[in-house]
Amino acid sequence: MKMDENASPEKPGMLGGKTILVTGAGEGIGKAVSLEYARQGATVILLGKTKRNLEGVYDEIKDSGYPEPAILVVDLSEPRSDAFKTIGAAIASEFGSLDGIVHNAAELGMLTPLEMYDGDLWDQVFQVNVKAPLQIHQQCLGLMRESVYASIIFTTDESGRKPKGYWGAYGISKAAVLHMGKMMAIEYANTSIRVNVVDPGPCRTGLRLMTHPGMPMKSYVPPEAITGIYTRLMTDEVQAHNGEVFFAQEWINPELDDRTESDLAALAH
């Protein structure tokens, strides 16, 4: 789904005063979205499991002169840890409210036939991809209700929109995420909370390298070039959109797309 293609481009500061939680913020799409939100004036809560990566994003934001972010080091695969159980309390203590959540963190698991899938790994993938977003939502719902309007973005995948063999728990979990986002949108339709789903499409990320190791990574769009739709869904414009699926590759910023014609040709083949 596309929004108004004639809408004016984003201006720096359009997210000023907002506090937004981004999971999986240490690298890839989560990092790119966090940096763009900060550039647009938001205070970003960087959640991830690798402290070093989060500190790197924190430093980039600070060095750029954007609002100081916060770091939450949490392994979403460990729901019984103190860090996991206190996500909502930590945000409430530090900020008092929350204007948005981007559920971006994901666990790939294995690309293998379902008959061979390991049960423990299956549980871990579903914990990170499906159960953790629900648990975070439950912890943070009270904070989001304090916002004039709030936006929740779930992240799906092509393998979750249409069945693809061998994508196992990842594909099925992304289908569940898509369904959960739409269900949540119905439940909050009469509130100030809006819930939408974004399919980033193939991007130049570590996850893509794992799933397509034989492909030239330069042929994929860099994640910073697809952040436009994520930003729009955190603005007032989101009020007109609820329970919809957006395709980030329809919103590529050509100024940030560094691919050459030869790169694109390689992807076509």
Active site residues: 170
C-alpha span between 170 and 208 (Å, rounded): 13
Burial class (CB in 10 A: 0-12, 13-18, 19+), 80: exposed
20's enclosing H/E stretch is strand 19-23
Query: Among candidates 263, 232, 235, 262, which has minimal Cα distance to 248?
Result: 232
C-alpha span between 112 and 127 (Å, rounded): 19
Amino acid at 173: S
C-alpha gyration radius of the chain: 18
| Number of Cβ atoms within 10 Å of the Cβ of 135 | 17
Q: In the beta sheet, which residues pair with residue 100?
A: 20, 151
Query: By 3-state DSSP, what share of the chain in percent is helix, strand and coil, each rounded to 5?
Result: 45, 15, 40
Q: Are 176 and 128 in contact (CB under 8 A)?
A: no
Q: In the beta sheet, which residues pair with residue 221?
A: 203
Helix locations, the chain, DSSP H: 28-39, 51-63, 82-85, 87-94, 119-126, 132-144, 158-161, 168-187, 206-211, 228-232, 261-268
